[in-house]
């Protein structure tokens, strides 16, 4: 059975592509046939893959109108773990990805403007009834109050919160800029540990989501 994760948020720069490539790479390490479908016309995940060279995961680009066909052909090619990266400010693209997915991750920085931008995604996931989790990203160290406030705002929009949050860590942008991941440049670092915790949580949560389907 193929697992499909959609990464969506209307806000630019919230960490969608970073999350997509880190999770797809972690899945490849776990011996999944893993693939990123990049539906962003900016093709940032695909650029990351160009920098990466011939290493896994596979990254393919697809406009939102071709998403379903691309998923089907990935499955035919034996892909069993798909992460869909989506563009910011694009309702249609997010809607298609959310419809196709088993679970949606919504990365957001814990800041008022970013949190306000969760509303359209909250509407989309509530309508599609796909399980969705807000992932607080780039949380400054020691910002407990900020994170708690953000959780409150998300809850008010009926969005669930992922218990694992990602800190504001140089390893995320330093690695991505080289076509790598945080674990590849600093395996013992905090960023790598956070992705590991997120991966474990994701596996459990996807299992539960699939049982309910």
Ligand X SMILES: Nc1ncnc2c1ncn2[C@@H]1O[C@H](COP(=O)(O)OP(=O)(O)OP(=O)(O)O)[C@@H](O)[C@H]1O
Please report, as ranges, the residues that interact with ligand X according to CB under 6 A: 12-18, 40, 44, 88, 137-138, 166, 168-169, 172-173, 176
- Residue 172 interacting partner from ligand X, Mg ion, none (CB closer than 5 to 8 Å by kind): ligand X
Residue 15 CB, nearest approach to ligand X (Å): 4
Separation CA 81–CA 115 (nearest Å): 29
Strand ranges for 23-102 from DSSP E: 34-38, 58-61, 81-85
Question: Measured from the CB atom, is 17 or 108 closer to Mg ion?
Answer: 17
Q: How far is CA 144 from CA 139, 161, 212, in A?
A: 9, 15, 33
Residue 61 in the binding site for Mg ion (CB under 5 A):
no
Min CB(61)–ligand X separation in Å = 13
User: Quick one: what does residue 34 bind among ligand X, Mg ion, none, with the CB cut-off 5 to 8 Å set by partner type?
Assistant: none
Report residue 98 as tokens.
Answer: 């959310």
**How many residues interact with Mg ion (rule CB under 5 A)?**
3
Angle at which helices 190-212 and 16-29 pack, to 10 degrees?
Answer: 80
16 vs 26, beta carbon nearer Mg ion: 16
Q: Which of residues 8-47 bind Mg ion (CB under 5 A)?
A: 16-17, 44
- What sign does the dihedral 202-44-52-15 (CA atoms) show? negative
CB atoms within 10 A of CB 146: 16
Residue entry with tokens 């679970």 = 103
Q: Between 21 and 103, whose beta carbon lies closer to ligand X?
A: 21
* Cβ atoms of residues 105 and 6 within 8 Å: yes
Considering beta carbons, is residue 21 or 206 the nearer one to ligand X? 21
Per partner kind, with CB cut-offs from 5 to 8 A, the member of Mg ion, ligand X, none near residue 190 is none
Phi, psi for residue 139 in degrees, rounded to 5: -75, 125
Least distance CB 13 / ligand X (angstroms): 4
If the CB atoms of residues 15 and 131 are measured against ligand X, the closer one turns out to be: 15
Sheet holding 103-108, edge to edge: 58-61, 34-38, 81-85, 3-7, 103-108, 132-136, 160-161
Least distance CB 16 / Mg ion (angstroms):
5
CB of 12 to Mg ion, least distance (A): 8
Footprint on this chain of Mg ion (rule: CB under 5 A)? 16-17, 44
């Amino acid at each position: 059975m193929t697992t499909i994760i959609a990464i969506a948020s209307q806000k630019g720069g919230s960490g969608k592509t970073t999350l997509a490539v880190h999770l797809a790479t972690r899945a490849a390490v776990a011996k999944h046939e893993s693939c990123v479908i990049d539906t962003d016309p900016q093709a940032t995940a695909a650029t990351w893959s160009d920098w990466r060279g011939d290493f896994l995961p596979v990254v393919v680009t697809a406009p939102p109108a071709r998403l379903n066909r691309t998923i089907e052909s990935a499955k035919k090619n034996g892909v069993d773990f798909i992460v869909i990266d989506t563009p910011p400010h694009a309702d249609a693209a997010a809607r298609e990805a959310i419809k196709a997915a088993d679970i949606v991750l919504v990365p957001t920085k814990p800041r008022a403007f970013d949190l306000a931008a969760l509303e359209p995604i909250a509407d989309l996931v509530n309508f599609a009834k796909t399980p969705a989790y807000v992932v607080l990203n780039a949380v400054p160290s020691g910002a407990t109050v900020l994170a708690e406030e953000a959780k409150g705002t998300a809850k008010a929009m009926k969005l669930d919160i992922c218990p694992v949050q990602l800190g504001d860590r140089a390893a995320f942008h330093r690695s991505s800029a080289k076509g790598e991941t945080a674990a590849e440049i600093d395996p013992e670092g905090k960023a790598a540990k956070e992705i590991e915790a997120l991966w474990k949580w994701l596996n459990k949560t996807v299992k539960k989501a699939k049982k309910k389907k």
